[in-house]
């Protein structure tokens, strides 16, 4: 029997496909408790002065508030050593704890619940959510980037986690930084999971 150099890659790809289905089914954004939590998270921050930021920037301000709410409360907790568990967003509401997939599921569900478009990026040994924040580079540079620097004073890097495709500009909402758009931990994408 000949060695198949693609066998390991084929096995990894089949695992990712089954994981994708499990992750998508865990994003229960239409669950009533997830929706109520998301609505509150969307107005927890940046609503001062009669919501002037929302009037000037629209829904992006809601997404940043959701990020700040979840990111500020989330605690990393590993899955059991012998299995992968994907918690529904509705399960994570009470504990605000889990691994990177659980965080990504929670963030994706909450962003989607308040009208946002999101994806989960699967890289080697990590997953993180990205959120559509602008229709093009011009809008991103004119509105989103200055707003990030205004609202999140702990940004020390110019290397933002940004993805651009035909739909627009997507920003990294990973828990590894305390602001949206933190640099990617790993840029070698295995799978982009559409929600």
Q: What is the pLDDT of residues 65-105, one digit of tens each?
A: 999 999 999 999 998 877 788 999 999 999 999 999 999 99
User: Model's pTM, two decimal places?
Assistant: 0.88
Residues whose CB is less than 8 angstroms from the CB of residue 90 and which lie 6 or more positions away in sequence, other chains included: 28, 31, 33, 34
Query: Could you give phi then psi for residue 77, rounded to 5 degrees?
Result: -140, 130
Q: What is the pLDDT of residues 122-143, one digit of tens each?
A: 888 899 999 999 999 999 999 9
pLDDT at residue 62 is higher than 90: yes
pLDDT of residue 18: 64
Residue 59 DSSP symbol: T
SS3 11: helix
Residue holding tokens 């829904």? 59
pLDDT at residue 14 is higher than 70: no
């Amino acid at each position: 029997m000949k060695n198949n150099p693609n066998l390991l890659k084929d096995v990894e790809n089949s695992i990712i496909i089954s994981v994708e289905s499990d992750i998508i089914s865990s994003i229960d954004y239409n669950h009533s408790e997830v929706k109520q939590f998301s609505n509150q998270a969307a107005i927890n921050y940046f609503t001062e002065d009669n919501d002037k930021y929302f009037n000037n920037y629209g829904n992006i301000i809601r997404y940043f508030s959701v990020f700040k709410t979840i990111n500020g409360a989330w605690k990393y907790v590993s899955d059991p050593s012998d299995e992968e568990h994907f918690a529904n967003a509705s399960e994570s509401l009470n504990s605000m704890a889990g691994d990177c997939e659980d965080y990504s599921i929670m963030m994706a569900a909450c962003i989607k619940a308040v009208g946002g478009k999101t994806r989960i990026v699967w890289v080697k040994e990590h997953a993180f959510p990205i959120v559509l924040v602008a229709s093009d580079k011009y809008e991103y540079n004119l509105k989103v980037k200055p707003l990030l620097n205004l609202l999140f004073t702990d940004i020390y890097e110019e290397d933002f986690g940004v993805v651009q495709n035909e739909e627009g500009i997507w920003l990294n909402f990973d828990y590894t930084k305390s602001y949206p758009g933190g640099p990617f931990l790993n840029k070698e994408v295995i799978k982009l999971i559409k929600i």
